[in-house]
Structure 1
């Protein structure tokens, strides 16, 4: 008997997605670093990336890169999150390249590399207004570039930026053009070309598709754009060659009843301290699913495969759906399926309470 909730991963479609993104980027001389953190570094997912032509495997978690290094010793690895001082020994061990924005951390990495007689490749991050990681002061960036260039244990691979993950700033010709101008000045200062000008992550795909990507950008860090198609809901683009159902969540109905849609009594906060707004839609056929926020994050971002199902919300262990308009007469014990967005995937691949099944 099948166990639920269950996450079904179609590895063939995932490999096709990786191949499509690699081909799309190659047309504009852009290399792809395949980000695996959205799927929590599941090894079959990494294998699908490699089969799809991804040469560089990227994550913000060194634990995931360690597994990659053990399974695929020849794979190039890229650490995405600025490293903690406490993990730089393992950084040098498991990552070929890392994103950096602190000069004291660079000094510590250089010292370790000199002791180990090795060299670590560095991409200096620039904050172009999204206000997460990166050098914000131009002169500090140039000084850091000179520091890395002179260091015996470091190699200045290039510079990069992140846009959209915190400040919701969209990549465009203006901000990525500024990144290119910074790169040109650094190249003038050090007397050679940089190997990498990394123009962001999946949020930069929409600019690429619209033909607005500056020609000097030659590197993108893509995860969500390979795993899912959810970014198309938020940006004005579509990649019809991609599969949006590479990951599906299946959950079992544990209760089905007719109930009101507006809570009865004095409304305070929910289990997470939020004050949701409720809409009175009258009496509806409501069902509870045996999966909740602890397993999938915000369940309202799920996309039911049966388009007549509506997701109302839920709690840590339950998801509430509306079955009123369904032609299928769902009963307790039946299973419903959903496509998902990035947040749902991040939670579901990590949850020990969700069975993983590979196609």
Structure 2
């Protein structure tokens, strides 16, 4: 089997990223659940996270948490995706804590835990406008909180929210401040402090760099910001202690030709049902790489290490690049190197067609 396309994972740099994120959060009184889903729970990466001090390992994929539990039985784990009722047994077997947003599911989960003489900790999710998971009405949240507090099989660990993953809503002092107010109300009703007020995921880390995180937030669920620095392309912040090149992709050139840049004929849709826009730049030297969307997702999010290279796009199996400004430096069979964004890491770490090379 060929070594290409190849994803090189620098475990040393990932450990440094974990320590940087944990250090920043610790300085601000915030615990971190380190999310492994973005790298598909690959065990060498999880091991590096643990070595760097990760106390809670989180994922939205139960098989990943099962693998963690098998490898490290005492590792604290968090299930990030609202569980299906059909997987509750599997979930309590591999996750110490879960995010929850349905009273009916909570009742089933309580019955299951009581029947097995065990307890399970839950974080109730609140929808603050991103319109993905979470209780939207306050009274529904309070009803669920009171039910969990009085239940015999569940422990109310706290409340949390998710922002930015669907509705593109940016975390700020207003919406996270509202989460803190809801937590205070619940604490007043149940007569004790909640252990966790979870203020979101990697997008919330920007508030720490700007010193605007509400004081009541004491927990975050961080994945992207440990893997990469790609969020700096989209948000106004910098965290220089992070390595942005812990993941690099190498892909081989399988064709190199002079071709037009504008398709010839009636333009309809591409292989994914989209109608891209094309710019006529005349005849250019185009390279065809043996890696595509099935392997890496949106290839236009790749960043060529050689800045003279431009990415045009591609298909499920190929990526098309412009080599005009460096055509004498690349020949058929050579490889081109890229750094990645989150989508590319998510796809490539899960692809069986990409060779994984761990560097430590």
Which is further off, 121-130 or 236-245?
236-245
Q: Which residue of 1 aligns with 2:163?
A: 163
1:122-137 maps to which residues of 2 (within 5 A)?
122-137=122-137
1:1-359 maps to which residues of 2 (within 5 A)?
3-326=3-326, 329-359=329-359
- C-alpha separation between the residues in 2 aligned to 1:73 and 1:215? 34
TM-score, normalization by structure 1: 0.99
- Could you list the per-position Cα deviations for residues 139-160 of structure 1 after superposition, in whole angstroms to 9, with x for gaps in the alignment? 1100100000000000000000
Q: 1:74: how far off?
A: 1.2
Which is further off, 66-75 or 325-334?
325-334
- C-alpha separation between the residues in 2 aligned to 1:328 and 1:106? 63
Q: 1:328: how far off?
A: 5.5
> In structure 1, the residue corresponding to 2:329 is in which secondary structure?
coil
- Could you list the per-position Cα deviations for residues 281-327 of structure 1 after superposition, in whole angstroms to 9, with x for gaps in the alignment? 11111000000000000000000011111110000000000011127
Q: Is the 8 A contact 2:25 2:31 kept in 1?
A: yes
1:28–1:328 CA distance, 2 compared to 1 (3 A): farther
- C-alpha separation between the residues in 2 aligned to 1:169 and 1:269? 31
> In structure 2, the residue corresponding to 1:241 is in which secondary structure?
coil
- C-alpha separation between the residues in 2 aligned to 1:161 and 1:138? 13
- Could you list the per-position Cα deviations for residues 267-294 of structure 1 after superposition, in whole angstroms to 9, with x for gaps in the alignment? 0000000000001111111000000000
- Could you list the per-position Cα deviations for residues 118-146 of structure 1 after superposition, in whole angstroms to 9, with x for gaps in the alignment? 10000000000000000000011001000
- Could you list the per-position Cα deviations for residues 209-243 of structure 1 after superposition, in whole angstroms to 9, with x for gaps in the alignment? 10010011000000001011110100011111110
Q: 1:195: how far off?
A: 0.2
- C-alpha separation between the residues in 2 aligned to 1:126 and 1:326? 51
Show structure 2 runs of 5+ residues with no match.
none
Q: 1:329: how far off?
A: 1.6
TM-score, normalization by structure 2: 0.99
> In structure 2, the residue corresponding to 1:358 is in which secondary structure?
strand
Runs of 4+ in 1 over 3 A off after TM superposition: none
Q: 1:115: how far off?
A: 1.1
- Could you list the per-position Cα deviations for residues 13-63 of structure 1 after superposition, in whole angstroms to 9, with x for gaps in the alignment? 000000100000000000010000000000011011111111000000000
- C-alpha separation between the residues in 2 aligned to 1:351 and 1:271? 19
> In structure 2, the residue corresponding to 1:337 is in which secondary structure?
strand
- C-alpha separation between the residues in 2 aligned to 1:195 and 1:3? 47
- C-alpha separation between the residues in 2 aligned to 1:210 and 1:323? 40
Q: Root-mean-square deviation (CA), in Å?
A: 0.9
- C-alpha separation between the residues in 2 aligned to 1:217 and 1:49? 23
> In structure 2, the residue corresponding to 1:98 is in which secondary structure?
strand
Number of paired residues? 359
Q: Is the 8 A contact 2:285 2:327 kept in 1?
A: no
Q: 1:187: how far off?
A: 0.1
> In structure 2, the residue corresponding to 1:325 is in which secondary structure?
helix
> In structure 2, the residue corresponding to 1:135 is in which secondary structure?
coil
> In structure 1, the residue corresponding to 2:251 is in which secondary structure?
strand
- C-alpha separation between the residues in 1 aligned to 2:15 and 2:47? 9
Q: Is the 8 A contact 2:101 2:125 kept in 1?
A: yes
> In structure 1, the residue corresponding to 2:206 is in which secondary structure?
helix
